[in-house]
Amino acid sequence: LVLLFGIQFHAGSDPALHAAALVKPAVWKGEWWRLITGTLLHANFIHIAFNGIFLIQIGREMERLAHPLLLPVVFFSAALCGSVASLLLLPNIASVGASGGLMGLLGFLTILGARKGRALPRAFQQGNLATLALITGLGLAAYYMIDNAGHLGGAAAGALIGLAAI
């Protein structure tokens, strides 16, 4: 994600966003790749920094507590589902960012905590729920710039994968 952001920044954000962001009318016209490429782009340095830090933190937990190969499977499946949810629920708003995939990891880990709660520290599940609450609060407060449909679709996909895998 950081490498792609570097390329995006070097090439200029506008051309990259025009070519690959999740622009819903373009998807409906057949540019289906945007459902994935939009999740790999970021709007600015703050956006990539927050997503990168969150990915490192939650990715470590995912690799430690579940099979390491589940990380990319859950991330990309949830990212795609988040994009589809955004496409259907916010049809006129373009978006970028890995948040759907990140929320999928959080959804997966929340199910892991619920299913294997006795084997995990109590603080683990409390931390997941606190993170979900914080992200939900931020999403509600900044709804005009956060793709809550993408967050919801990603979290739901991660939770469903967790239900199937755990």
List, by residue number, the catalytic residues: 99, 151
Q: Please provide the DSSP assignment of 131-165 as one string.
A: HHHHHHHHHHHTTTTS-HHHHHHHHHHHHHHHHHH
Indicate the DSSP class of residue 119.
G
Residue 100 · residue 150 · CB < 8 Å: yes
Q: Give the whole-angstrom CA distance, residue 165 versus residue 63.
A: 14
Neighbours of 143 (CB within 10 A): 10
| Of 11, 30, 13, 79, nearest in space to 51 by CA | 79
